[in-house]
Structure 1
Amino acid sequence: MSVTDRFTGLTSIGYQGHDLDSFLARLSAEGVSLLVDVRLNPVSRKRGFSKRALAAALDSVGIGYEHARPLGNPKDNRAGFGGGPDELQAAKQRFSERLDEPAAREWIANIASWSTERKVALLCFEADQERCHRDVVAAAVKTEARRLG
Structure 2
Amino acid sequence: MAKTKATELFTVGYEQTTSGAFQDTLTRAGVDLLVDVRAVAASRRPGFSKTALAAGVADHGIAYVHLRALGTPKEGRLAARSGDHDALMRIYDSHLATDTARDALEELATLAQGRRICLMCYE
* Fold match by TM threshold 0.5: yes
The within-5 A match list for 1:15-94 is 15-82=14-81, 87-94=84-91
Tell me how far 1:30 sits from its aligned partner.
Answer: 1.0
In the comparison of the two structures, how many residue pairs are matched?
119
Cα drift, residue 82 of structure 1: 4.8
Counterpart-to-counterpart distance in 2, 1:7 and 1:89: 31
Shift of 1:96: 1.4
Give unmatched runs, 5+ long, in structure 1: 1-5, 127-149
CA shift, 1:105, in A, is 0.8
Q: 2:122 aligned with 1:125, yes or no?
A: yes
Identity %: 37
TM-score (normalizing by structure 2): 0.87
Aligned Cα root-mean-square deviation (Å): 1.7
Taking structure 1 as the reference length, the TM-score comes to 0.73
C-alpha distance in 1, partners of 2:104/2:88?
20
Partner of 1:98: 95
Task: Please state which structure has a larger fraction of its residues in helix.
Answer: 1
5+ residue gaps, structure 2: none
8 Å CA contact 2:35–2:66 kept in 1: the answer is yes
Kindly provide the CA deviation profile for residues 78-127 of structure 1, in whole angstroms up to 9, marking residues without a partner as x: 1433555xx2133112111111222211111121233231111111111x
Larger RCO, structure (CA 8 Å, separation 6 or more)? 2
Equivalents in 2 of 1:25, 1:18: separation in Å? Answer: 11
